[in-house]
Amino acid sequence: MTAGAISAGDTAWLLVSAALVLLMVPGLALFYGGLVRSRSMLNTMMMSVAALALVGVQWILIGYSLAFQPGGPLIGGFSWVGLSGIGLEPDATYAPTVPHFAFILFQAMFAGITVALISGAVVERMRFPAFLLFAVLWTTLIYDPLAHWVWGSGGWLSELGALDFAGGTVIHISAGTAAVVAALMVGSRRDYGRTALVPHNVPMTLLGAGLLWFGWFGFNAGSALSAGDVAALAFANTFAAPAAALVTWIGIEQVRAGRSTAVGAATGLVVGLVAVTPAAGFVTPLSALLIGVTAAGVSHAAMELRGRFRIDDSLDVFACHGAAGIVGAVLTGVFATTSVNPAGADGLLAGNPGQLGVQLVAVLATMAFVAVATSGVVGVVGAVVGVRVPLDAEVAGIDVSEHGEEAYFGGDVASHAGVGIGDSVVLPAAEVAVRVPEHPAARPV
């Protein structure tokens, strides 16, 4: 492929798509924030927002070069560090009709949201500085090489023929796998298994899910990298699969419990979005419906299994992203057809059973690499700064201990004049110390 003249239409679509993916980060913050207890909401939201900014800096300095510079089978290189040597002209390898910077920006959003997804497994007990260090190390040592494997020129999974249209393996399976490892190593919340840990603001979670769906059209359809027929196909599939998954999820709840929940609807919606991500540009809308239905059933079962194994993956990151991502990646090998995208490949139902085997290799390789590497990253973070807040800080609320703020103001701090319910306040350092006393048994894990 050679670079041609810049297409105004393609460029406009990719820039809008990048902005849509950016909106997914506050959407994720609202989705996650509503699911936790009120005393942890700000910390939960900060993990998503800060991750995008921190990883954005990392992406410009070194991440893009490691992920996308044409290189060997495992990693890119260092020639594009600091975006050195990159100009406004198109890049023939990745996006020949848009300025190179547009492609870089679009991919930066993907890198930022991936580590934000992982935060849902460790909310309410992981130190904020520890998460920031984790975000930088995990993105550099895990996300960047994995992105090169799948999407980079010369990457071994790319050369093998693995299909991942918008991030089933690179983003969702990797985030889900890392979430389980991090949850196990950080440990359970103090109240886990002792009391009901219920969402504090379900409408916020529904709003977040809606913003995620809106932004996901840029996530998937933008991955066509042009404003053409494949973008339209991915757009349609990004509507079909989550709609089917949402209907399936509330149906499961209705059959099992006699009622459907708003949290379940929001969860089913996200599960469908995750599952169609690797397949969005390679399958028909009818296949997308089947992918959504299957993913909802598998993810629902995964949540029940997580409860039985008593793994405190707080916001079910593996069930929503890992399990659904696996379903989507595998079913891409079943339903993919070159009749809708000649640049893809035929899957099992189109007469190419070998593609299913390639997809399974990609899933297993991703999970193995991410599991081992994440355990090393969490170990390093724990040794350097400690990963867990002290016991008393966890009991009092991580918002106060880590940020000196509260999302909702009232009760025992109602003496602050001029501040009403729902306002966020910055507490003086002395008051934070009073509200979160040192406990002799409390120590970082």
Q: How confident is the model at residue 410 (pLDDT cuts 50, 70, 90)?
A: low
Same domain, 192 and 272: yes
Measured CA distances, 123 to 221, 394, 444 (Å):
31, 10, 15
| Closest to 1 (Cα-Cα) out of 104, 96, 100, 102 | 96
| Closest to 38 (Cα-Cα) out of 102, 133, 123 | 123
Same domain, 427 and 341: no
Residue 363 inside a domain? The answer is yes
* Share of residues in the chain with pLDDT > 90 (%): 84
Whether the Cβ atoms of residue 398 and residue 43 lie closer than 8 Å to each other = yes
CA distance 156 to 100: 23
Residue 89 inside a domain? The answer is no
Angle separating helix axes 174-186 and 354-384, nearest 10 degrees = 30
Picking from 32-36, 59-63, 430-434, 435-439, which range would have the lowest pLDDT averaged per residue?
Answer: 435-439
Whether the Cβ atoms of residue 272 and residue 328 lie closer than 8 Å to each other = no
| pLDDT tens readout for residues 41-74 | 999 999 999 999 999 999 999 999 999 999 899 9
| Closest to 118 (Cα-Cα) out of 50, 201, 211, 67 | 50
Residue 92 inside a domain? The answer is no
State yes or no: pLDDT of 219 exceeds 90: yes
Whether the Cβ atoms of residue 173 and residue 363 lie closer than 8 Å to each other = yes
Same domain, 415 and 355: no
Same domain, 417 and 350: no
Same domain, 328 and 411: no
Which CATH number do you get for residue 332? Answer: 1.10.3430.10
Whether the Cβ atoms of residue 243 and residue 271 lie closer than 8 Å to each other = no
For the chain, helix (H) and strand (E) counts, in that order, are 18, 2
Q: Is 406 helix (H, G, I), strand (E, B) or coil?
A: strand
Whether the Cβ atoms of residue 179 and residue 313 lie closer than 8 Å to each other = yes
Domain count, the chain: 2
Residue 224 inside a domain? The answer is yes
What is the extent of the structural domain holding 337? 11-80+98-384
Same domain, 250 and 159: yes
Whether the Cβ atoms of residue 183 and residue 121 lie closer than 8 Å to each other = yes
Whether the Cβ atoms of residue 98 and residue 225 lie closer than 8 Å to each other = yes
Write out the two tokens for 263.
């949290």
CA distance 405 to 174: 32
Q: How confident is the model at residue 1 (pLDDT cuts 50, 70, 90)?
A: low
Picking from 15-19, 360-364, 399-403, which range would have the lowest pLDDT averaged per residue?
Answer: 399-403
Same domain, 230 and 146: yes
Picking from 162-166, 282-286, 338-342, 409-413, which range would have the lowest pLDDT averaged per residue?
Answer: 409-413
CA distance 388 to 134: 13
Residue 146 inside a domain? The answer is yes
Same domain, 412 and 348: no
Find all residues with CB under 8 Å of 241, minimum gap 6, and list them.
272, 273, 275, 276, 288, 289, 291, 292, 295
| pLDDT tens readout for residues 222-240 | 999 999 999 999 999 999 9
Residue 5 inside a domain? The answer is no
State yes or no: pLDDT of 436 exceeds 50: no
Residue 336 inside a domain? The answer is yes
Whether the Cβ atoms of residue 444 and residue 388 lie closer than 8 Å to each other = yes
| pLDDT tens readout for residues 108-137 | 999 999 999 999 999 999 999 999 999 999
Find all residues with CB under 8 Å of 327, minimum gap 6, and list them.
275, 291, 294, 295, 298, 299
Same domain, 171 and 32: yes
| pLDDT tens readout for residues 146-160 | 999 999 999 999 999
Write out the two tokens for 56.
């954005």
Same domain, 103 and 250: yes
Same domain, 320 and 414: no
Residue 246 inside a domain? The answer is yes
Measured CA distances, 93 to 98, 143, 346, 406 (Å):
12, 20, 23, 48
Same domain, 183 and 297: yes
| Closest to 179 (Cα-Cα) out of 381, 9, 364, 367 | 367
